[in-house]
Structure 1
Amino acid sequence: MINPIDREALRAQVRTANPFPFFAIDNFLEPEFAEDVHAAFPSFEEVSRLGHKFTAVNEKNKVQVTDSSLFPAPIHALHTQLAAPEFLELVSYVMDIPRLIADPELAGGGIHETGPRGHLDVHVDFNYLPDRQLHRRLNILVYFNKDWQSKWGGEIELWDKDVKTCHHAFMPIFNRCVVFETSNISFHGVAAVRCPEGAVRKSFAAYYYTKEAPAHWTGDVHSTIFKARPDEYFKGKIAMPVEQAARSLQEGWRGVKQGIKGVLGKNG
Structure 2
Amino acid sequence: MRRQLDAAHEPCFRADPFPHYVWDGILPADALRAAADAYPDTSVMTAKPGIPRWHSQDRHLAGPALRDLCEALLGDDLAAFLGEVTGVEGLHTEPEGDWGSYRLAGHGAVHHAHVGSNRHPETGRLRRYSLFTYLTEGWRPEDGGWLELGEPVDGAAPARIMPSFNRSVLIETTSRSLHGVSLLRAPSPVLRRTVTVHFWTDPAADGAA
Tell me if TM exceeds 0.5. yes
Task: Give, in angstroms, the shift of residue 61 of structure 1.
Answer: 2.1
Q: Which residue of 1 aligns with 2:23?
A: 25
1:18-67 Cα deviation digits (max 9, x unpaired):
2211111111211222222122234xxx12x11211127xxx32100111
CA RMSD of aligned residues (A): 2.3
Q: Which residue of 1 aligns with 2:73?
A: 82
Q: What is the TM-score normalised by the length of structure 1? A: 0.70
What is the alpha-carbon distance in structure 2 between the residues aligned to residue 36 and residue 137 of structure 1?
A: 29
Unaligned runs of 5+ in 1: 218-268
Query: Which of 1 and 2 has higher RCO (CA within 8 Å, sep 6+)?
Result: 2
**Bigger Rg, structure 1 or 2:** 1
Secondary structure of the 2:70 match is helix
Q: Which residue of 1 aligns with 2:82?
A: 91
What is the alpha-carbon distance in structure 2 between the residues aligned to residue 36 and residue 18 of structure 1?
A: 34
Q: Does 1:168 align with 2:159?
A: yes
What is the alpha-carbon distance in structure 1 between the residues aligned to residue 7 and residue 87 of structure 2?
A: 15
Is the 2:152–2:158 contact (alpha carbons within 8 Å) kept by the matching residues of 1?
A: no
Q: What is the TM-score normalised by the length of structure 2? A: 0.88
- What fraction of aligned residue pairs are identical, expressed as a percent? 23
1:99-125 Cα deviation digits (max 9, x unpaired):
112021463722100111111001111
Correspondences of 1:52-71 after superposition (within 5 Å):
52-55=46-49, 60-71=51-62
Higher helix share: 1
Q: Does 1:100 align with 2:101?
A: no
From the superposition, tell whether residues 184 and 163 of structure 1 become closer, same or farther in structure 2 (CA, over 3 Å). farther
Unaligned runs of 5+ in 2: none
From the superposition, tell whether residues 185 and 215 of structure 1 become closer, same or farther in structure 2 (CA, over 3 Å). farther
Correspondences of 1:182-201 after superposition (within 5 Å):
182-201=173-192
Q: Does 1:35 align with 2:30?
A: no
1:55-90 Cα deviation digits (max 9, x unpaired):
27xxx3210011112121111111111121121111
Secondary structure of the 1:87 match is helix
